[in-house]
A and B are shown apart, each in its own frame.
Chain A
């Protein structure tokens, strides 16, 4: 025994302090029926997960599709448009800024081209029939300078001939493009999955780098266990499962859903880590990830709007 220990024991007193009475008290405490503690983390995350499920379910049941509420003249100047390049049989365009599948188009050339399509179209006597479904088509919501909107489906018969079908009023317009204009296909920005895959890969690499740098800067130790409590793992699984379920069955690729799911997962992780194992310092990763994710989301959103 070293001097230090001997001295400390002397100063604390050499008599035993852990008395049988104390032992008895602990035993009594253990045998007493335990009052049930309110598990706030579980309640909090359950409420959040339930809210998320309800939100996803509502989004599934009532997908956001805007249809024109008035019928402005077709050829008046337009301000912007939302395009769905790969629609199903049912008309679908979301004007939500979070919708990945139906981007907002503010590009001058594309708007001019759309303007030409609208200006050259003339009311047609024949209405749209089932045979039109064989031609390539795209769904568009055009917003006019007056603030009014029209929901249109554009059918391209060949490089010059096309038809516009108003899904609300069921009016049909047909037109022919002047020869010097671009091909119809160029008007419709196709949704690229390779772009999404690239973004996902970049995000994964960025997340790995961020974790590495955070661990170095804040000296966050590595831990064998992924989760501090089994409840944490179950809740994260539930959030991931419900998100995948929604994305699997939803017509839209809504970035808001992913944003909510990722934010909630990070929040749950950070909360559990801070509540149950603050000494592991894993919660720092959650905080840093959240800050960086918000910054990236803001940059992406601005970039998306500027397109």
Chain B
């Protein structure tokens, strides 16, 4: 698939996934830029074992984790404090702040290994086998992380917010 087509089709998904990992739109944009740069450079070696969407999302997840690791390692560096590069207007930023509600905040307070599984399972709608392959761990580990992730989420959310998700099954 041509780079421009890949960006048009999957750019939004990659950006949102990067944001769910990093909670920073600037960082997410940088990551997505890196993802498509990597795609452009490495498309020749893409083995076609998975779909392009999965391939791009995997790169996004890995680069997001690299970013978080780097941020953790060098906390004094100004990660996340860069000015907005997007063309969003000031009103848009205010609107975005207002839109931020409980679930996103709660999700970002959960440890990464649980948050990651919740994102992949509920947001990317992968099944436990696919997540296990993705993360190179066992299916049972994924299930355990899902249960613990849900418990973390429950502890973070107010009762009325949790009720909305309590019937989500896996």
Contacts and interface: CB of A to CB of B under 8 A. Distances in A.
B104 A278 contact: no
Nearest to A278: B69
Interface size of A as a range:
20 to 34
A26 interface: yes
A4 interface: yes
Nearest to B169: A2
Interface in A1-21: 2-5, 7-13, 16-19, 21
Interface string A201-212: 000000000000
Contacts of B15: 17-18
Interface string A221-252: 10100000000000000000000000000000
Chain B binding surface, main DSSP class? helix
B113 to A, nearest CB: 11
Nearest to B121: A4
Interface in B101-116: 101, 103-104, 107
22 contacts: A2-B122, A2-B125, A3-B165, A3-B168, A4-B103, A4-B118, A4-B165, A5-B123, A8-B104, A8-B123, A12-B20, A13-B96, A17-B12, A19-B86, A22-B32, A22-B33, A22-B86, A26-B7, A26-B32, A26-B33, A30-B37, A278-B69
B137 interface: yes
B159 interface: no
A134 interface: no
3 closest Cβ pairs, A-B complex: A18-B11, A4-B122, A221-B136
Contact of B137 (A2, A21, A29, A219): A219
Given A4-B118, A30-B40, 11 more contacts: A2-B122, A3-B168, A4-B168, A7-B165, A10-B99, A11-B99, A17-B15, A19-B87, A22-B11, A22-B32, A26-B32
A229 to B, nearest CB: 11
Contact of A23 (B11, B99, B100, B164): B11
A280 B136 contact: yes
B137 A17 contact: no
A8 B103 contact: yes
A182 interface: no
Nearest to A219: B137
Most buried by B among A5, A8, A221: A8
B125 A12 contact: no
B62 interface: yes
Given A7-B164, A18-B15, A22-B86, A27 B96 contact: no
Contacts of A12: 16, 19-20, 99, 104
A111 to B, nearest CB: 57
